[in-house]
Amino acid sequence: MLNSEQKQQKRKAIAKSTCTLFIEKGYVNITISEIAKNAQIGKGTVYEYFKNKEEIIFELMVCLQEDYDPKLKQKLESNMTTKEKVLSLFDIYLGNDEIVLIQRKIYKEYLSIFMSNKTDEMIRFHTIMMQKYSSILEEIFKKAIENNELSSISLKMIPSIFATMEGFFISDEKQTVLYEYFDTLFILLENNSSEKGKL
């Protein structure tokens, strides 16, 4: 008999085992039978831990997030410019290494569910993630403002930056467009920094 911690680890293991399936076939085309076979467990066992596929991809998103956060923290603590830190924060949209590409594909699958069939748990998770990353961006901007790199107006831009990046991501814009957006944004905020007294 598994205790609660062991059950949670089993749940995570099942979710993580579906990563390649979701990437190769997409959420819509996968069956619970395929998930069970891939995880080398019975179909009934899958249902012991998850009600449906939505719960599985949501748990996979949570697992990927837990893996991603320590790496992000390490990056942000390194000797980087303000712009490099901001770009690192949005690595899920901009990065090109293998792990980020996997996270991006899973995030797209998750977003399609979130927009069409979201649960209260998903809404809470999404809200917490937005609050967490908004706080990180706020800290980055505050330090840049203290160092006279950016204007204080930068802090007011935080909600629109996240909304813009999510919009770009959903509309599948090329990465060059996303980089151009940040290039332009930083030019505007840096230019305004010399006019702080007017803001």
The answer to whether the beta carbons of residues 94 and 179 sit under 8 Å apart is: yes
What lies within 8 Å, CB to CB, of 52 at 6+ separation is none
- Measured CA to CA, the distance from residue 1 to residue 105 in angstroms comes to 35
Place of tokens 């320590």: 70
In a domain, 1, yes or no: no
In a domain, 6, yes or no: no
**Mean predicted confidence (pLDDT) in 48-75:** 89
pLDDT band at 172 (very low <50, low <70, confident <90, very high): confident
pLDDT band at 118 (very low <50, low <70, confident <90, very high): confident
Q: ∠ CA 50-52-58 to the nearest 5 degrees?
A: 75
**Mean predicted confidence (pLDDT) in 139-157:** 94
In a domain, 168, yes or no: yes
pLDDT band at 132 (very low <50, low <70, confident <90, very high): very high
Q: Is the pLDDT of residue 122 over 60?
A: yes
The answer to whether the beta carbons of residues 16 and 60 sit under 8 Å apart is: yes
Task: Give the count of beta carbons closer than 10 Å to the beta carbon of residue 50.
Answer: 20
pLDDT value of residue 71: 86
- Measured CA to CA, the distance from residue 132 to residue 139 in angstroms comes to 11
In a domain, 121, yes or no: yes
For 153, the domain range is 53-198
pLDDT band at 92 (very low <50, low <70, confident <90, very high): confident
What lies within 8 Å, CB to CB, of 45 at 6+ separation is 36
In a domain, 83, yes or no: yes
pTM higher than the cut 0.75: yes
- Measured CA to CA, the distance from residue 156 to residue 33 in angstroms comes to 48
In a domain, 144, yes or no: yes
pLDDT value of residue 192: 52
In a domain, 173, yes or no: yes
Higher pLDDT, 11 or 198: 11
pLDDT value of residue 65: 87
Give the mean pLDDT of the chain: 89
Around 193, how many Cα atoms within 13 Å sit in the side-chain half-sphere?
Answer: 18
Domain count, the chain: 1
- Measured CA to CA, the distance from residue 37 to residue 147 in angstroms comes to 55
Kindly state the greatest CA–CA separation across the chain. 67
The CATH number of the domain holding residue 98 is 1.10.357
Task: Give the count of beta carbons closer than 10 Å to the beta carbon of residue 145.
Answer: 19
pLDDT value of residue 28: 87
- Measured CA to CA, the distance from residue 106 to residue 113 in angstroms comes to 11
Q: Where are the beta strands (DSSP E) in the chain?
A: none
In a domain, 96, yes or no: yes
* Chain-centroid distance, C-alpha 133: 9
